[in-house]
Amino acid sequence: MTKTTNIILTNTPVSEGWQADNPVQIFKNEIHICLKDGQELSLRDIQKAGRKIEGLGIDTAKLTGDLWTEQSQWAFAMGFTCVGKLTNVEFTGDKAGQLADKLAIFAWSRDLTNQTPSQLYPLKLAELAAEYIKTLAPEHVSVGIISGEDLEQQGWTGIYNVGKGSINPPCLMILDYNPTGDSQAPVAASLVGKGITFDSGGYSIKPSAGMFDMKCDMGGAAVVAGALALAIKQGLDKRVKLFLCCAENMVSSHAYKLGDILTYKNGLTVEVANTDAEGRLVLADGLLAAAEANSGLIIDAATLTGAAMMATGGDYTALFGLDADLMEQTKAEAVKANEPVWQLPLERWHQDKCSSVFADTANSRTQKGGGAGGASNAAGFLARFVANEGKGWLHMDLAAAYNGSANSLWAAGGTGQGIATIAALICDKA
């Protein structure tokens, strides 16, 4: 039997004893989140309260009372939910159904990120994402998957080379959501996700501690797939394409090597300076595929660099782009979604930060972590593969997409951060 506990947001403390100054107070088998001195708690405070309440062993939280807003309920849910309880919140008010639908999509994306690398190999990731989105709009979704040697034959050199060292073949999944019924309808937006289902680092091998959480390196694919699912649920009525760049980065006799030179569809040659800078190599293919779709908006998302983690502390998604208006719109939508973001530097000259004697560019520098400005340099590399001088392109380095261990705001595992912001952008732009 499910044990449900009422969670009440109140501006009147219920205890005069030892709990009096605590924001979380227990009274008569109910739990109260108490506002201090009649002042509204921040959404961050409410999320922290949700994490504390889950830690009490509560199975399902039922939000009751008149003070809950849509934003405060969502903040609580993000703090309370965790592995095994990803949908265990009962919302209140006229937005309860919408919040429950949104939470279910976040739960799917977070659960996908939490799966083990043996469960979630590249083709399985592509299939699960396609199946899930198809259930939301079966009549409007078509899917194609290019896998294994077909990738090389069709010119998708980044995905092929990164994944060729694994027994599980790499793949590019192309999903077309087209509710217009017109096969010639323009593509309003394209989403590109990094789907590295396990990242050993390749021959630039990671230490054990750095490799432990690398099942999450497909977090970008989970986020963009979740964002499209949420946008569809919210009534997306324009054509959007989804590109998932899926591979395992492994060490073997067939793996790609330091010093290899890859030639992309746009003619650009790339020297491999670091096999652990594989995410940008697969995303380059996805960005080229998105450019072929001629969409006005291209968003790529990836758990791309340790440099972004160092810069943001893992509390923010790092944003990059060359389109100032799009950057400002993204920051505004992120505030509405309560998904913290921070813009890091990107200029056209960042494209030249990873030089090569033997190719047009290298995929990184040979210094540890790619050297100074590693996250910006990675974004600069990606900028070489976008059209229109970067207009309409947004790169999200998902430093806040996964936590290896619980903290005061989040349970361990995937967070889904970025889903709501991307969904809002494609609904608006589309």
Mind listing the pLDDT tens digit for each residue in 75-97?
999 999 999 999 999 999 999 99
Please give the pLDDT value at position 13. 74
Burial class for 51, CB neighbours closer than 10 Å (0-12, 13-18, 19+): buried
| pTM score of the predicted model | 0.96
Which residues is 247 bridged to in the sheet?
196
- Using the structure block, give the residue that is written with the tokens 């309370």: 80
Q: Which residues of the chain have pLDDT under 70?
A: 1-2, 37-40, 369, 429-430
Q: Mind listing the domains of the chain with CATH numbers?
A: 4-94 (no CATH), 109-429 (3.40.630.10)
Nearest to 246 by CA among 151, 317, 319, 153: 151
The residues annotated as belonging to the active site are 206, 280
Nearest to 85 by CA among 54, 49, 44: 54
Please give the pLDDT value at position 1. 40
- Using the structure block, give the residue that is written with the tokens 């405060």: 72
As a whole number of angstroms, the distance between CA 280 and CA 286 comes to 10
Please give the pLDDT value at position 372. 85
Cα dist. 95→64, 85, 88, 102, 238 in Å?
A: 13, 21, 17, 11, 24
Cβ pair 92, 63 in contact under 8 A? yes
Please give the pLDDT value at position 271. 98
As a whole number of angstroms, the distance between CA 166 and CA 322 comes to 35
Give the number of other Cβ atoms within 10 Å of residue 405's Cβ: 9
Cα dist. 236→167, 181, 244 in Å?
A: 38, 14, 20
As a whole number of angstroms, the distance between CA 34 and CA 12 comes to 6
81 phi and psi angles, rounded to 5 deg: -70, 150
Cα dist. 315→38, 109, 403 in Å?
A: 28, 19, 10
pLDDT per position as a tens digit, 384-399: 999 999 999 999 999 9
Please give the pLDDT value at position 40. 67
185 phi and psi angles, rounded to 5 deg: -60, 140
